[in-house]
Amino acid sequence: MSSHDIPADITNEVADLRRRIDEANHRYYVENESDIPDNDYDRLMRRLQALEEQFPALVTPESPTQRVGAPLSGEFPSVTHSVRMLSLDNAFSDDELSAFVKRAATRLGSDPESLTFCCEPKLDGLAVSLIYRDGKLVQGATRGDGSTGEDITRNVRTIRSIPLKLSGHDVPSLLEVRGEVFIGHSGFEGMNERARKENGKVFANPRNAAAGSLRQLDPSITNDRPLEFFAYQVAQLEGAEWADTHSAMMARLREFGFRSNPELAIVQGASGIIDFCQRMGERRASLDYDIDGAVLKIDSLAQQAELGFVSRAPRWAIAFKFPAEERITTLNDVEFQVGRIGTLTPVAKLEPVQVAGVTVTNATLHNMDEVARLDVRIGDQVIVRRAGDVIPQIVKVVIEQRPDNTRDIVMPERCPVCGSQIERLEGEVAARCSGGLFCPAQRKESLQHFASRKALDIDGLGEKLIDVLVEREMVKTPADLFRLGVAELAELPRMAEKSASNLVAALDKARSTTLARFIYAIGIREVGEATAAVLATRFGSLDALMSAELEQLMSVPDIGPIVARHIHTFFRQQANVDTVKALQDEGVHWEEVEATDRPQPLEGQTWVLTGTLEQMTRDDAKERLQQLGAKVAGSVSKKTSCVVAGPGAGSKLAKAEQLEVEVIDEATFLERLAGYEGEATTDSEASDE
Ligand code: IVH
């Protein structure tokens, strides 16, 4: 049945129901007053749903029954903002506010005190763009990087303070409204309360809750979240007249059915905006939503146009940011957290305290130098600061209130996660766990390094897959990789039989490697590929390297006391040794190289590779040069020993010619390599000198 065949009384009733429901929604969600009992509202809604079910041809996307659509599969499509979504410059003091007014007045050639400003609270939510064509909401998008955002139309449609259809007269053919989506305090408490009861996700603060809710692929989840919207800007308008001022545009938006901030005020000059910011600071605690400052905009749209913008912010507006909030609390304890690369960070465990709207229980102490600088002890009274999104900081200790029984903060000797020795070297701020290959805190990082191109070069084992393997505890150490089977891999997300067997084949191929690559792959601190190559040639076997004493390690050219210590400590951790052994048991092997401690053929030389090599990859060339003792550099200087130039060589070749550095082509390079490599391996009977 088409809509023409539907009896007129039905069409009229549907229109009437929609008008009444829209009005009730508007009064409740936009004007914050409710004048219709819940029962009556529900009755209207049910009647409309029933009629729409009976006459599906009457359903339109703007009907109040259509706020919640079907889930989206995959990702949000991206959208390009035809008018860039700018950010705002910040002011942190009255002086900075005055300077902003003065700058604008000078550019406009007017008296600073005569400038009119429209002032609004700065909401701590998310910027959203809404596009209406012929009065109908057709697109909702996030800010993204300002030029490209994500299409979240389905989700913004569930927000009751966003009209699906514009009301009032002279509806424009195109309207782009921007504003802030947020969750108020009461809504936030309610949703967390429910989440706690239902074992759902409890959010740390309203902003996180709003961000999480807006980025749901299933709009029915967004619909359950108490999201709200305040409009704060018109970005595009066609088919209607622009008003003269921003405040008049905001009044037009209210006629179209939007909600704008009731705190909005019109003031004159610097004194006016300073007063407003002060007032907002005082009102802040009594508002039902988080604000982190105020936005001050020149009200005249003509003046806005004249001022324009610099880089990413308009010259006609500024954001005043409230000073960071500080509170005093007790430092109950300090725990040490182990990061992805083994760095130990002291984390303060605080007596819970409310700072700028969130309960703070932890604060980072960064490192032991910071602990010393603050002169902080367990049991101290400390001042905690939080500003905006920034993580809470301990600013200082209230020494006058130090109790008698405080305790020193001491760095543990063993890693709290894996029990390996903690290394803290002289001159270095960070303390690190030395159980790199084994420590659960460092698993993802060490596996990524192990599989990387210059290490075991395991094709198809990327970051995402490693995350999954670690999270599902299928892989704990690199040795576990070699035990993975096709069947279990094929069941992982984004994997199939084919990619799983490719990965197993790649792992199998990676079993034959070189000693240099292996030494690099196990991730000893500060042992890069060049050092690994030197170690491989100097020691010849892994066993020799593993049992090397500090003096022996330090006698290797280019290896200083710090790197020597890292290598030494690494191989004194039983867990690392076990893992290395397990890798060999899984079939990881390399050709033994002859150990040599006589000078390598290219020792002390620096080579540069440029242009395209046709017989080998650049990495191979580099590896072979390094094994012969050469350094491979990225640029040509007077110190360069030789440049290998392939086709397409450009500025490096020119530079070499200018400095009269020797330049050879790939064929000559290959001949020389063969010669040097023969020298390095065949005459091992020759004396050490
Ligand atoms: S006006 C070109 N007004 O602050 C200026 N922004 O750094 C457009 N914000 O991400 C912004 N409350 O989401 C404006 N009353 C308000 C605001 C506001 C919050 C946010 C906005 C933007 C950021 C600007």
Domain boundaries, the chain: 3-62, 90-321, 327-401, 434-590, 606-688
**In the annotation, is 122 catalytic?**
yes
Q: Does domain 90-321 have CATH number 3.30.499.10?
A: no
123 within ligand 1 shell (Cβ under 6 A): yes
601 within ligand 1 shell (Cβ under 6 A): no
**pLDDT at residue 678 is higher than 90:** no
Give pTM, 2 decimals. Answer: 0.58
How many angstroms is it from 266 CA to the middle of ligand 1? Answer: 17
∠ CA 214-216-218, nearest 5°, is: 125
Q: What type of residue sits at position 356?
A: A
How many angstroms is it from 452 CA to the middle of ligand 1? Answer: 42
Return the DSSP state at 49.
H
Q: Look at domain 606-688 and name its CATH class.
A: alpha beta
Distance (Å, rounded) from C-alpha 532 to C-alpha 519?
A: 6
Return the DSSP state at 27.
I
Angle separating helix axes 463-471 and 443-451, nearest 10 degrees? 140
- In this prediction, residue 389 carries a pLDDT of 53
Question: Of the given ranges (162-171, 191-200, 235-244, 524-533), which has the lowest mean pLDDT?
Answer: 191-200
**pLDDT at residue 601 is higher than 70:** yes
- Domain 434-590 fold: DNA polymerase; domain 1 (1.10.150)
Distance (Å, rounded) from C-alpha 573 to C-alpha 554?
A: 20
Q: Whose CA is nearest to atom 17 of ligand 1?
A: 122
CATH architecture of the domain covering 327-401: Beta Barrel (2.40)
Distance (Å, rounded) from C-alpha 372 to C-alpha 667?
A: 60
273 within ligand 1 shell (Cβ under 6 A): no
CATH no., domain 3-62: 1.10.287.610
- In this prediction, residue 597 carries a pLDDT of 65
Distance (Å, rounded) from C-alpha 225 to C-alpha 437?
A: 43
- Summarize pLDDT for 502-513 with one digit per residue, the tens: 999 999 999 999
Distance (Å, rounded) from C-alpha 386 to C-alpha 395?
A: 10
221 closest CA partner among 251, 253, 195, 184: 195
Question: What number of other Cβ atoms are within 10 A of residue 405's Cβ?
Answer: 8
290 within ligand 1 shell (Cβ under 6 A): no
CA distances from 67 to 63, 155, 223 (A): 8, 9, 8
Return the DSSP state at 26.
I
- In this prediction, residue 1 carries a pLDDT of 58
517 within ligand 1 shell (Cβ under 6 A): no
Q: Is residue 686 very low, low, confident or very high in pLDDT (cuts 50, 70, 90)?
A: very low
Q: Whose CA is nearest to atom 21 of ligand 1?
A: 127
CB 423 within 8 A of CB 569: yes
∠ CA 436-425-374, nearest 5°, is: 105
Distance (Å, rounded) from C-alpha 124 to C-alpha 105?
A: 29
Q: Whose CA is nearest to atom 12 of ligand 1?
A: 122
- Summarize pLDDT for 400-444 with one digit per residue, the tens: 999 999 999 999 999 999 999 998 877 677 789 998 888 999 999
Question: What is the maximum alpha-carbon separation in the chain?
Answer: 109
670 closest CA partner among 633, 644, 651: 644
How many angstroms is it from 150 CA to the middle of ligand 1? Answer: 18
Mean pLDDT, rounded, for 565-593: 93
**pLDDT at residue 55 is higher than 80:** yes
How many angstroms is it from 318 CA to the middle of ligand 1? Answer: 9
Average pLDDT, the chain: 90
- In this prediction, residue 618 carries a pLDDT of 86
Q: Do β-strands 90-91 and 317-321 pair in parallel, antiparallel, or remain unpaired?
A: parallel
**pLDDT at residue 570 is higher than 70:** yes
Q: Is residue 494 very low, low, confident or very high in pLDDT (cuts 50, 70, 90)?
A: confident
- In this prediction, residue 237 carries a pLDDT of 97
- Summarize pLDDT for 203-233 with one digit per residue, the tens: 877 888 999 999 999 999 999 999 999 999 9
CB 122 within 8 A of CB 128: no
Q: Is residue 623 very low, low, confident or very high in pLDDT (cuts 50, 70, 90)?
A: confident
For residue 142, with 0-12 CB atoms within 10 Å meaning exposed, 13-18 middle and 19 or more buried, which class applies? buried
CB 20 within 8 A of CB 44: yes
Distance (Å, rounded) from C-alpha 464 to C-alpha 494?
A: 10
Give me the catalytic one of 102, 122, 622, 652.
Answer: 122
How many angstroms is it from 123 CA to the middle of ligand 1? Answer: 8
- Summarize pLDDT for 361-375 with one digit per residue, the tens: 999 898 888 899 999
Q: Which of 24-33, 582-591, 634-643 has the highest mean pLDDT?
A: 582-591
